[in-house]
Amino acid sequence: MKNQQRETFSSGLAVFFATLGSAVGLGNIWKFPYMIGANGGAAFLLIYFLCVLFVGLPIMVSEFYIGRKTRKNVIGAMKQLKPNSAWKSIGVFGIITAYLIMFFYTCVAGWVYFYVFKAIKGDFSGVTVESSKAMFGAAVVGPISPIIWQIIVLTVVSAILIMGVQKGIEKVTKTLMPVLFLLIIICDIRALMLPGSSEGLKFLFKVDFSMLTKQSILMALGLAFFKLSLGMGTMVTYGSYFTKDNNLINTSVKVALSDTLVSVLAGIAIFPAVFAFNMKPGAGPGLLFMTIPLVFSKIPFGNILLVLFFILTSIAATTAMMSILEVLIAYFTEEKGLSRKKAVIFNAIFIAVIGVLASLSADSSSILGNIKIFGKGFFDLFDFVSSNILMPIGGLLIAVFMGYMVKKDEIRHELSNHGTLNIDWAINLYYFILRYIAPVLLIIVFLNSIGILKF
């Protein structure tokens, strides 16, 4: 009876926007566009698409399968598929990873919210290099400001999740994802109107295979996995809310392509403007939080554009956090018997308390900046353990589980929606890649990320 009363998304469109909202995050806005330009432009994009085919899509489809087939949270799903077995560790890794990511991601999202507030106030008018650095320092070092904004972020996300799957997650993502696309296109049009913007397009889209190195290929491989929110339980959880008639393979392909499109459009909004004003397209927070305000301050009506840009960045951060926190909410409501409201409030408070460690260690000059564990501050430690260890291990376990522990006939039955979809060729391709290619590539990514393999 409990499963029958469980909420689901209302339609295929709702499924698409929710899963896209999970995949799209802050990395789409600055990290991925920069990596395209710095690693051969269109050549890197080609390698990335191949990696999505051989790693990203098989794992995403697998997570959707686990979620929809069981209609349970990430731990409950594995307990149902393989009772009393060690495979429950897939769910445990997902829960731990979700916590670690939220500890530091809410911190970065707080900086974004802070910048939305500053942009609306007009504080970036006449900004200089020095004042831009000072503002970023105030956002990051604090110590009070980053904690306050981190709490504001958690409050916003929690308020949405308390409303439930359809009234909360579905309604918000169906509204915000089209808005995000619209805002990016507005920024693109304005950036492309700038004199000298063509240099930014060359940076993004030049085809230069000579710039591809072994390391850049590994970056593409890792991105294909990490950018699609895999190995952290989000796609299992969202998959458990899918409609029965949803084409899981088709949804995976559409989400992967749309996620990449958002990154490319973000690059078109950023780099033509950066090059138009002869600034360096540096990667990381410096580009997003220091360079962008400087660039937009030089453009007519630039403050309006800056407000729009940071609003779209905050949308990306918010929808991504919703999906991560939902992993924990589903677990606590279904496995621990808490009401949805109590599960949200408990987890928000817990994340806020531990997340303070990330906020106060994000910079070397922060209050906790000099406290190191295994050579890393709290902020970097949460990021490293989740991204470099738990996520690839979780993804590898999912690939092995689906490829070798689940019968192919069961997979075919679920992915074909009980025989109503004629997609045998796609299922056969998925199954082959899942068994023989994805695990090997994930092992390579993992060993390289922890420094055992050096390229």
d(CA 277, CA 194): 9
Do residues 275 and 281 make contact, with C-beta atoms less than 8 angstroms apart?
Answer: yes
| Residue scoring higher pLDDT (4 or 270) | 270
d(CA 280, CA 197): 14
Position 2 pLDDT exceeds 50: no
| pLDDT score, position 5 | 65
Q: Cα-Cα-Cα-Cα dihedral of 444, 449, 454, 455, to 10°?
A: 70
pLDDT digits over 143-197, tens only? 899 999 999 999 999 999 999 999 999 999 999 999 999 999 998 898 898 888 8
d(CA 278, CA 12): 45
CATH of domain 12-96+105-138+151-354+395-449: 1.10.4160
d(CA 36, CA 370): 33
**Of 192-196, 257-261, 320-324, 413-417, the least confident:** 192-196
Instruction: Give Cβ neighbours of residue 363 (< 8 Å, ≥ 6 apart).
Output: 137, 140, 141, 369
Quote the percentage of the chain above a pLDDT of 70: 98
Position 281 pLDDT exceeds 80: no
pLDDT digits over 339-363, tens only? 999 999 999 999 999 999 999 998 8
| Residue scoring higher pLDDT (106 or 269) | 106
Position 369 pLDDT exceeds 60: yes
| pLDDT score, position 242 | 95
**Of 229-233, 297-301, 377-381, the least confident:** 297-301
pTM for this predicted structure: 0.93
